[in-house]
Amino acid sequence: MRVFRDALAAFALTAMATVATAAPGLAETLLAGVAKTPPVSTPFVLVSYRGVLDRPLVVSGSLRWLGGDNMERDIAKPFKETAKIADGTITVQRGSSEVQRMPLARAPQAGAMLAAFRALLGGDVSALQKDFALSAQGSEARWVITLTPRTDALRRQLTSLVIDGRDREPRCLTMTDANGDSSITLVGAMAEQGLRSAAPLESALAARCRNSGQ
């Protein structure tokens, strides 16, 4: 996990440095110290708040970054699903049913998530900056990075992706879709801690992400 944390710290600082255009030397120094040796994995808990649902949807499992544009997400509960992103294509296999494929270009949310992870873990901020504007707030101890789409095509799908972190570790990725739906993905230690309620309120979960004391 150390590699993971170092990488995240590097990402956070680089992002902040990029936005502030201050101390570019520091960002470079930090990035240089990042060991980019995938695969890296973390547990996750995804809580989706959808307009068509009357309660949040919770799934959990593990996320793995295999380097480059390759990522995998295994859902273990409440059903089994393996989703892979490779070569610009998403493949989803659920249970024993047929494998579904689709171009990554058609699922911008998944694309944003991948770009964020690539930047976090691989230190490749340039790929991220192609599609998103970055802004960072807070301190090294408690930080929030907000990704907003640069293109209209992306904006039609996605409003923002917010990453909350503490020290050198990200805790939550909050994604807000253009239609108002949102999802919060807990990663790292937050995911290990798990949820405190079967159907957490969005506001409560968001507060928990922000509140680094908990």
Partner 1 sequence: MRRGERAAIWFVWLALIAGLGWGVALHLKISSDLRDFVPPARTADQKLLLDEIGKGPGSRLLLLAISGAPQAQLADLSRGLEDALAQDSAFEHVVNGGNDLAEIASDLLPYRYLLSPTLDSHRLDATFLHTQLQQRVEDLSSPAASMLEPWLKRDPTLETLKLARLWAPPRQPKLVDGVWFSDRDEALLVAETRAAGFDPGAQANAIASLQKHFATLPGAAKAKLVISGPGWFGVQASRHTRAEADRFGVITTIGFILMLLLAYRSAVPIVVTALPLLSGAVVGFALLALIFGHAHGITVAFGFTLLGVAQEYPLRVFSHRRIGVATSQCVRELWPLLATAIVSVCIAYLAFFASGVAGLQQLAVFTIGGLVVAGLCTRWLVPLVVPAAKRDMAATSGLAGVWHFLAHLPRPRWLPWLVAVAGIVVVVFAPGKVWQNDLSALTPIPKAELQRDARLRAALGAPDVRYLLLMRALTAEGVLGLSERLAPQMQQLVDRHAVDGYELPSRYLPSAATQRARQAKLPDARDLQAALQQAMQGLPFRAGVFAPFVADVEAARKLTPLMPEKFEQSPLGARLESMLVQQGDGWVGLGTLSGVNDPAAFVALMKETRGAVHLLDLKGSTESLIVAYRQRILIALGIAALLLCAAVTLALRSPRRALHVLGPMTLATLLVLVVLRACGIPLSLFHLVSLTLAAGLGLHYALFFERRTGDEREDLRTLHATLVCVASALLVFGVLALSSVPVLRAIGLTVALGVAFHFMLSVLMAPADHLRRKG
Judged by CB under 8 A, the number of residues near partner 1 is 39
202-208, Cβ contacts within 8 angstroms, sequence gap of 24 or more: 202/47, 202/49, 202/56, 205/47, 205/172, 206/172, 206/174
Nearest distance from C-beta of residue 38 to partner 1, angstroms: 19
Q: How far apart are CA 118 and CA 15, in angstroms?
A: 13
Q: Which is nearer to partner 1, 5 or 94 (CB)?
A: 94
- What are the residues whose beta carbons fall under 8 Å from the beta carbon of 52, sequence distance 6 or more? none
Q: Which is nearer to partner 1, 32 or 198 (CB)?
A: 198
Site for partner 1 in 115-174 (CB under 8 A): 157-158
Phi and psi at 93, nearest 5°, equal -120, 120
Nearest distance from C-beta of residue 59 to partner 1, angstroms: 5
User: CB neighbours (10 Å) of residue 52?
Assistant: 5
Contact between residue 169 and residue 50 where contact means Cβ atoms under 8 Å apart: no
- What are the residues whose beta carbons fall under 8 Å from the beta carbon of 32, sequence distance 6 or more? none
177 is a contact residue toward partner 1 (CB under 8 A): yes
User: CB neighbours (10 Å) of residue 211?
Assistant: 12
Q: How far apart are CA 177 and CA 50, in angstroms?
A: 10
Question: Contact region for partner 1 (CB under 8 A) — 6-14, 32-40, 163-171, 176-184?
Answer: 176-184
191 is a contact residue toward partner 1 (CB under 8 A): no
Site for partner 1 in 39-68 (CB under 8 A): 46, 48, 50-55, 57, 59
Q: Which is nearer to partner 1, 103 or 194 (CB)?
A: 103
Site for partner 1 in 64-123 (CB under 8 A): 73, 75, 79, 81, 83, 85, 87-90, 92, 94, 100-110, 113
- Chain residues binding partner 1 by CB under 8 A are 46, 48, 50-55, 57, 59, 73, 75, 79, 81, 83, 85, 87-90, 92, 94, 100-110, 113, 157-158, 177, 179, 181
